[in-house]
Structure 1
């Protein structure tokens, strides 16, 4: 069995999230997803939806075997608990593969780091960013 971990904010689910999780699931036989806690999201605007709601939405997706909310203080706690063979990064996630691999090694966690591909076919009407979805809602619904 090959265990894969994917992680992210997953605020407003969109086709890019589904592609990422399908690609991550294809890297192994079991996919665990760690949903970032709202209070730990510092690289972009914090999520609109609650931790629980985002976890529940991700858990409902077909490729996902298990979803959990990340640890409040230590990124590595759930990774140690899951003990993955692979950590799958989204194609546009801000993490650097080499830096993450070095941090995992330093923490004594032995697993590969792979990056999922982007979607090959993106239709003109698709929004593959939560930020762009929020902007569109504001543009079309807010006065």
Structure 2
């Protein structure tokens, strides 16, 4: 059995997120999705997510093909990898945080980066800007 682990914020779940998870699921028999904690998102992205970590976690638990969705660890960011021992780690095309040391700490785990799915349309930061006070509607972003 091949276990795949995917990471992300998954704020305002959209078709780009679904595409990412579908691609991750194709890489194995089991898909574990790690949802970034609110505090981590604020630190890495410079703003809090629009949805709470619990809301994002609940949404992911309902996605077909996701076998398990869990919150990331606030302290040791790599603990969840040790806890689940995945065979494959799947990263989004734009993920930059906490990935530099993955090959060093986990040389036995295959790391795959999923290509983008219409990033000009389905990128959470674009959607976040559109949802900010005073911004145009999502239609205006197309």
TM-score (norm 2): 0.83
Aligned-residue offset at 1:117: 2.1
Question: Is residue 48 of structure 2 the alignment partner of residue 46 of structure 1?
Answer: yes
Question: Is residue 129 of structure 2 the alignment partner of residue 135 of structure 1?
Answer: yes
Inter-partner Cα distance in structure 2 for 1:111 and 1:27 = 13
Q: Map of 1:107-122 to 2, 5 A cutoff? A: 110-119=108-117, 122=118
TM-score (norm 1): 0.82
Matched residues, number: 133
Q: Compared with structure 1, are the counterparts of its residues 71 and 96 closer, same or farther at alpha carbon in structure 2 (3 Å cutoff)?
A: closer
Q: CA RMSD in A?
A: 2.1
Inter-partner Cα distance in structure 1 for 2:44 and 2:103 = 20
Structure 2 residue runs without a partner (length 5+): 138-142
Aligned-residue offset at 1:104: 2.6
Structure 1 residue runs without a partner (length 5+): none
Superimposed CA distance per residue, residues 54-83 of structure 1 (whole angstroms, 9 cap, x where no aligned partner): 111111111211000011201122111111
